[in-house]
Copies of this chain bind each other. A is one copy, B any other.
């Protein structure tokens, strides 16, 4: 691939990313992408086969690196600290790509080999990581028994909602946008809610004794 064609591919992916962030939707058209990238819409089809092919390529940039979740599980810190690091990690991803879960769901509605790839690279690794993390917490005695599937939906939803439903910020709270401070506060509140929410009774009592 020549430097030029690489540049064009990247321009197209960047344009699609920027459009989805600015317009707060994944329903963007080929012509909008072409206009933003200042390239012909035909080039999108030439490089990526189709608009969906291009969106899948964009999605791949957010794939968790193989072994990264395993490394977090193996890190020499408590299960609660692993959970805190995980919360910060997924908030970082949603902050860069607030359209991420919406894009996944949109591509999953297509009947295609994409479904298998998305399932194997996004859904299942996260589901397995959560199940292992919770088991580790129970084993350590710091966490109670929790249904890993419910936990997955609760955690993803709680972390994602600030970004995917950010239109509510000005309307519900008079806050114009997600500033660094809004994001920092949200990570702090998420961490406190989930750490206390999954704590075993022994752990909750421990924190009380420390504060007494």
Contacts and interface: CB of A to CB of B under 8 A. Distances in A.
Number of copies: 2
A194 interface: yes
Q: Is the interface of A mostly helix, strand, loop or mixed?
A: helix
A109 B25 CA distance: 9
Interface in A110-159: 115, 118-119, 123-124, 126-127, 146-147, 149-159
Interface residues of A, number: 60
Interface of A: 23-25, 27, 101, 105-106, 108-109, 115, 118-119, 123-124, 126-127, 146-147, 149-162, 164-165, 167-169, 171-173, 175, 182, 185-186, 189-190, 192-194, 196-199, 201-202, 204-205, 207-208, 211
A153 B161 contact: yes
Contacts of A27: 27
Nearest to A199: B196
A153 B146 contact: no
Nearest to A25: B109
Given A193-B198, A199-B196, A208-B204, A158 B153 contact: yes
